[in-house]
Amino acid sequence: MANADLDELLAILDLTPVGDDVFVGAHPHKNPPRTFGGQLMAQAFVAATRTLRHEIAPSALSVHFIAGGDPESDIEYHVVRLRDERRFANRRVDAIQNGTLLATALVSYISAGSGLEHNTPMPNLPSPETLPTIDELLVGYEKVVPGFVEALRPIQWRYTNEPSWIMREKGGTLTGNQVWLKADGAMPDSPTLHTAAMIYSSDTTILDSIITTHGLSWGWDRIFAVTVNHSLWFHRQVDFSDWVLYSTNSPAAAESRGLGSGHFFSPAGDVVATVTQEGIVKHFPGNA
**3-class SS of residue 6:** helix
Over residues 166-215, the pLDDT tens digits come to 999 999 999 999 999 999 999 999 999 999 999 999 999 999 999 999 99
pTM for the structure as a whole = 0.96
Over residues 31-74, the pLDDT tens digits come to 999 999 999 999 999 999 999 999 999 999 999 999 999 999 99
Over residues 255-266, the pLDDT tens digits come to 999 999 999 999
Cβ atoms 211, 163 nearer than 8 A: no
* Domains along the sequence of the chain with CATH: 4-112+126-283 (2.40.160.210)
Name which of 206, 187, 217, 212 is nearest 246 in CA terms: 206
CB proximity list for 26: less than 8 A, separation 6 or greater: 11, 12, 74
Residues of 12-38 as b/e, b for ≥16 C-beta within 10 angstroms? bbebeeeeebbbebbbbeebeeebbbb
